[in-house]
Structure 1
């Protein structure tokens, strides 16, 4: 028999979904209870039911809660090794494959992109990779998130100095304009990145034919079922032989180990086997 607190918690989750159109049950329950509990204590509210009534009537509180539940990291080239692996290991393989097929388009998806630092970092790596080469390739990079405020800021592309701390002085000079102590990404980088709203656990695949998908430190907070949905989405979205890069602390579900082969166990880089699940 469900107790009162559990019933109220489920009621709150339904109210969040009804008001925001976001199914937060994708996250692990202990993560949700911890984050929501912090917001309730800040407001002096003791029951999930009372907090559900608050977010129903207070859009600002709902948005504040959603910002608390989404994990938004604000650094360029956060953990440099995955980006170096992308540039030094994956891109040469992709280019070799494109030369054989005659294609000149390379498509990359940054899933759970927050304020846009990751897809812009990917774009910088791509531009650096091509600058000393004669080949003419077009990069199409997509950044997706469920936080619409993050996506708006990502499209603007203005960042505080601290978010550039992992970039070299040369990269800052070449890819940013300094404006009153902040830094705006240059059009050369912006033009290859597009931002879209997308829920990773949606059964509908975002798009297909990606060469690389980055999804780092996002699904670690998902329940196992929602993680399975996200991984299925990624698998269906990748080209045969395409690559998935996850976070170092994230483990692959056993049901996908025969479909996504680990090619770098340290940086958690996987390659799609050329057959459907």
Structure 2
């Protein structure tokens, strides 16, 4: 996926955070996987929105693993530095821009995500179709605008892998147009009707 922007689908992300915050209370390690992160706008958006809802001490426990196949080695340097053109943050509310982005005097017309937010996001090249998770025991997986590029068999293999990668009651967040396959409703439940957000079911729930 090569196209996205900051604060895309803000309402869905906000709904996910409403569900997610109670799930991670008092945790010392909060692990999130942003799969198919492209240039990093989505994981950074989620990191900022999450910081708005969390205090600085709890936020230090957050790690967002931003991954993409990145075949041309374009994404890693951008995500690591957190430097983007000024126009890329135009959709972000002005108060959030001021709080979380700094001017870059050496690179006119660009801004940089502040260090606290950059520290929470870690980029790694990863091929989803390897079916090897970036980590086990995740509290949340964000995978949007990715599965639509895969076959039905590949999607099913990925849903199984996502389920195995989440911890108990962990969440999976999809694009609004990407519904989970019917055969996987025994592995995931949908806690809200207005977003493609799924919660991992325990095996003994069915």
State yes or no: 1:81 paired with 2:17: no
The corresponding residue for 1:171 is: 96
Q: Which is further off, 157-166 or 173-182?
A: 157-166
5+ residue gaps, structure 2, are none
Deviations 1:57-89, CA, capped at 9 Å, x for gaps: xxxxxxxxxxxxxx2223111011122113323
The corresponding residue for 1:115 is: 39
**Cα distance change of structure 1 residues 135 and 196 upon mapping to structure 2, 3 Å threshold:** closer
State the alpha-carbon separation in 1 of the partners of residues 119 and 57 from structure 2: 20
TM superposition shift of 1:156: 2.1
Deviations 1:141-189, CA, capped at 9 Å, x for gaps: 1100001322232112111223212211111111111221111111111
If each structure's helix is expressed as a fraction of its own residues, which one has the higher value? Answer: 1
Deviations 1:100-145, CA, capped at 9 Å, x for gaps: xxx32211110000001111111112211113x8857610111000
Give the number of the structure with larger relative contact order, counting CA–CA contacts within 8 Å between residues 6 or more apart. Answer: 2
Superposition pairs for residues 78-157 of structure 1, below 5 Å? 78-95=8-25, 99=26, 103-131=27-55, 138-147=61-70, 148-157=73-82
Select the structure of larger CA radius of gyration. 1
The corresponding residue for 1:12 is: none
The corresponding residue for 2:116 is: 188
State the alpha-carbon separation in 2 of the partners of residues 87 and 229 from structure 1: 26
5+ residue gaps, structure 1, are 1-70
Q: Given that residues 240 and 275 in structure 1 are in contact (C-alpha distance below 8 angstroms), is that contact kept between their aligned partners in structure 2?
A: no
Number of equivalences: 200
Runs of 4 or more consecutive aligned structure 1 residues displaced over 4 Å after TM superposition: 133-137
State yes or no: 1:249 paired with 2:177: yes
RMSD of the TM alignment (CA)?
A: 2.0
Q: Secondary structure at the match of 1:128?
A: helix
Superposition pairs for residues 1-277 of structure 1, below 5 Å? 71-95=1-25, 99=26, 103-131=27-55, 138-147=61-70, 148-179=73-104, 180-275=108-203
